[in-house]
Amino acid sequence: MVAMDWPEVENEFPMVLGSNLAELGGRKSSVDRDATIRAYAQAERGGADRCTCNGCRNFRLARMRVFPPEFLELLDRLGIDPRKDGEVYRNARLAPGRHNYGGWFHFIGTLDAPDSDSGLVKFGDDFSAYICRATAPRLPSLNQHPVVQLEFNADAVPWLLDEPEAD
């Protein structure tokens, strides 16, 4: 990886700087988008699709309306397939038909920034994300690579399963 100066970014809008540099919420990392795309293509299923609990089955139905367009754009620019999360988990029902979920993805690269700051970026009122060091289980096809973790939190996941809503 070639060392270089980072451009100053004035707003906090999530963005990827060039094809092999990423910044989110002031945290910077390298990104190997092509290698990430290959690893996701090799992964048969993501965490939500391997789990049979009602929370994960509901998320499979809801995710493409839960991920904001700007987040989907970020995933695309990192080389991440939005349907192949590392894992998702339902935390709570905030109101009828409205659930809080967390989850994460990984991409191939290395984090340059310290983990001390929050680095949290809001994608609208109900969705936030940040990048951090990889600590959580990843897709098997990413095992042989250095990866960065992209965590998300969603506050307005609808209940779309045709079965009783979880508490």
| Cα atoms found within 13 Å of the Cα of residue 108, Cβ hemisphere only | 21
> Where does this chain touch Zn ion (CB under 5 A) — which range of 2-10, 48-56, 97-105, 115-123?
48-56
Part of the chain binding Zn ion (CB under 5 A), chosen from 56-64, 71-79, 109-117, 151-159: 56-64
Structure tokens given for 153 = 């939190």
Work out whether the CA dihedral 104, 110, 116, 120 comes out positive or negative: negative
Q: Which helix (H) or strand (E) holds 49?
A: helix 47-50
Least CB distance to Zn ion at residue 50 (A): 8
Residue 87: strand pairing partners: 104
Beta-bridge partner residues of 136: none
For residues 149 and 130, what is the distance between their CA atoms, to the nearest angstrom? 8
Q: How far is the CB of 51 from Zn ion (least distance, A)?
A: 3
Q: Is 17 in the site for Zn ion (CB under 5 A)?
A: no
Judged by CB under 5 A, the number of residues near Zn ion is 3
Among 21, 24, 31, 56, binds Zn ion (CB under 5 A): 56
Report residue 102 CA to chain centroid gap.
Answer: 9
Tell which positions 93-112 bind Zn ion, by CB under 5 A.
none
Nearest distance from C-beta of residue 48 to Zn ion, angstroms: 7
Least separation in angstroms between CB 101 and Zn ion:
10
Among positions 15, 35, 43, 51, the unique one binding Zn ion when judged by CB under 5 A = 51
Q: Crossing angle for the helix pair 33-42 and 69-78, nearest 10 degrees?
A: 100
By CB under 5 A, tell whether 61 contacts Zn ion. no
> Does position 53 bind Zn ion by CB under 5 A?
yes
The radius of gyration of the chain from alpha carbons, rounded to an integer in Å, stands at 16
Q: Which residues bind Zn ion (CB under 5 A)?
A: 51, 53, 56
